[in-house]
Structure 1
Amino acid sequence: MDLQLSGRVAIVTGASKGIGLAVARTLFEEGAHVVATSRTRTADLPDKVIHVAADLMDPQAPARIVARAVEEFGGVDILVNNAGGPPPGVTLPRVGSLTPGDDDWREMFEFNLFSVVRMVRAAVPAMLERGGGAIVNVSSGSARQPSAMNVDYGAAKAALNHVSKALSEEYGPQGIRVNTVSPGPVLTDWWTKDGGAADVIAGMAGADRDSVIATLAPEMMKLSTGRLVHPQEIADVVAQLVSPRSGSTTGAELVVDGGFLKEI
């Protein structure tokens, strides 16, 4: 299927690894001009992908990223707000609503909500100049599955879902589609790195990292597929959503979670 992305200009945040890297590579392979942003560039990004080193906790970063896209390619057609999860230096999971303090809450919302709001604020004028565009915000199943684990993270993503829906209503008539993708647990660095989620859960359960990833986490989260989601599975859905072939899809939340969410 031709996704009709050739020549379109895409910004992807959090593109150094995991979902963001998979999205950046997929859009590039589909013919888009990609501006990838993260704190550091990874060797896994294709050489022709433009990388902008930025920390999205910096309120000035979004304007610089959009300006670089306009400078290199003349505008912006696509924005994928993937950066999120644990703020820099933070390890999740955190158990208990009393565990995160005020600073933890502020950092979580800064990274998972406010940085997205600022990216949208910077990109929308450039999209409107080209007659429209497509925005995909990467949320989480945790936004609709309240839990005492990572309560601040879930709350920030729930707020992101609300903002995404509001943006779709505001800008849909002006040609900008806004959708949300909500992954479940994805096999990324968040889980697999030393001291990451798998190690934290292993310490709590008296298990080892490999068994947590292969068996314990899917069982604990009641994943119907019996495994964690692969980043490419998220990237494929994002690519479809930003494609003109999804021209009537806006204000939607697409869940790619291995069966994590059970409600109707």
Structure 2
Amino acid sequence: MRSIEEDRMELELKGKRALVTGSSSGIGAAIARLLSAEGAKVIIHGRDAAKTRAVAQKLIDAGAEAGFVTGELSREEDCAEVAKRAVEFFGGVDILVNNAGGMAAANRPDTTAESFNRPWLQTPWDDWRWTYEQNVGSSVRLIQALAPAMIERGWGRIINISSASATQTEADLADYQPAKAAITNMTTGLAKSLAGTGVTVNTVTPGTIATEGVRNGFVEWARQLGWETQDWSEIERRFTSEVIPQPTKHFGRPEDIARMVAFIASPQASYMTGSNYRVDGGQCRSIN
């Protein structure tokens, strides 16, 4: 693992207080790590207390100031408690990164590889409701809880993590794609609503990011396709050339998203608001 000093970008974030939701692993953990490398005080959030505490402890061991909170953000009462405890850690939140998300199928204990991506017409409304609560509801509630204090201080950053599937849809994923589209859309309206307050609001849209879970999924997909190789570099090359074509010919890494988030979160990005910043290796075929 690279050291904090090696990751530093000098973005004037020293002393800023950040809450990164869904940061006990994957993209969220990478965002939290880079913000802490830039000198921010970071609050890790997750649903699994042991995993969430472990990520925070790694940051503390590296010399950063960090804390952790747990909660199921699809529930209103948990959102309120997460916001309250986040403020208590360092006396406020200057940077809110709404990274927590996901889709209902991934959270059902009975989900199998075959039932994960249900056909659109067979996706029950309960799945839509859960996915909207997890992605849109959690973001809205945390914004409403934390933005007023940012406005009062005259400075703040709200960064919502969307998905390439918000603007480039595929068959099915019925509940997930519209939820991510709502994230991208609500960002622009909120940015206009907060005009002149010193609080900026932006979306970061990842393409396919090779987290540990995603890599495992692609290895299994390759097996189902009958590919004999189990070598990740070969699997990645074939998928980005043959199945999910993109100019970079490789998937993104969590650090790619973290760098964009850290810059938008910084004082250097004061002229950037209401925008959607794609970090997708050219995967999306649209202009924006």
Q: TM-score, normalised by structure 1?
A: 0.91
- Report deviation, 1:32: 0.6
Is 2:194 aligned against 1:183? Answer: no
Is 2:77 aligned against 1:60? Answer: yes
Deviations 1:16-43 (A, max 9, x none): 1111000111111111111111112152
Equivalent of 1:163, from 186, 195, 202? 186
Structure 2 Cα separation of the partners of residues 252 and 117 of structure 1: 17
Structure 2 Cα separation of the partners of residues 14 and 2 of structure 1: 25
Deviations 1:87-138 (A, max 9, x none): 4525686153223211111111111111111111111122123223001000
Is 2:4 aligned against 1:2? Answer: no
- Report deviation, 1:184: 0.4
What is the number of equivalent residue pairs in this alignment?
261
Q: Is the 8 A contact 2:44 2:55 kept in 1?
A: no
Q: Which has the larger radius of gyration?
A: 2
Structure 2 Cα separation of the partners of residues 60 and 11 of structure 1: 17
Amino acid at match of 1:38: G
Deviations 1:188-212 (A, max 9, x none): 144134xx4652x336523466568
- RMSD over aligned Cα atoms: 2.1
1:218 aligns with 240
Equivalent of 1:25, from 33, 53, 65? 33
Matches within 5 A, 1:58-137: 58-87=75-104, 89-90=107-108, 94=117, 96-137=119-160
Structure 2 Cα separation of the partners of residues 135 and 71 of structure 1: 19
Equivalent of 1:51, from 65, 68, 82? 68
Where 2:189 maps in the other structure, the secondary structure is: helix
Where 1:50 maps in the other structure, the secondary structure is: strand
Structure 2 Cα separation of the partners of residues 131 and 49 of structure 1: 24
Deviations 1:219-250 (A, max 9, x none): 31112111110000100000000101000100
Amino acid at match of 2:100: A
Q: Is the 8 A contact 1:168 1:250 kept in 2?
A: yes
Equivalent of 2:265, from 242, 247, 260? 242
Where 2:42 maps in the other structure, the secondary structure is: strand
2:45 aligns with 37
Q: 1:38 to 1:63 in 2, by over 3 A?
A: same
Amino acid at match of 1:117: V
Q: TM-score, normalised by structure 2?
A: 0.84
Q: What is the identity percentage for the equivalent residue pairs of Structure 1 and Structure 2?
A: 40
Deviations 1:163-220 (A, max 9, x none): 1111111013222100000000001144134xx4652x33652346656852343231
Structure 2 Cα separation of the partners of residues 190 and 83 of structure 1: 15
1:206 aligns with 226
Structure 2 Cα separation of the partners of residues 49 and 120 of structure 1: 21
Question: Structure 2: any 5+ residue segments left out of the alignment?
Answer: 1-8
Q: 1:89 to 1:213 in 2, by over 3 A?
A: farther
Q: Which moved more, 1:205-214 or 1:136-145?
A: 205-214
Structure 1 Cα separation of the partners of residues 136 and 231 of structure 2: 32
- Report deviation, 1:260: 0.5
Q: Is the 8 A contact 1:172 1:250 kept in 2?
A: no
Structure 2 Cα separation of the partners of residues 106 and 5 of structure 1: 36
Matches within 5 A, 1:253-264: 253-264=276-287
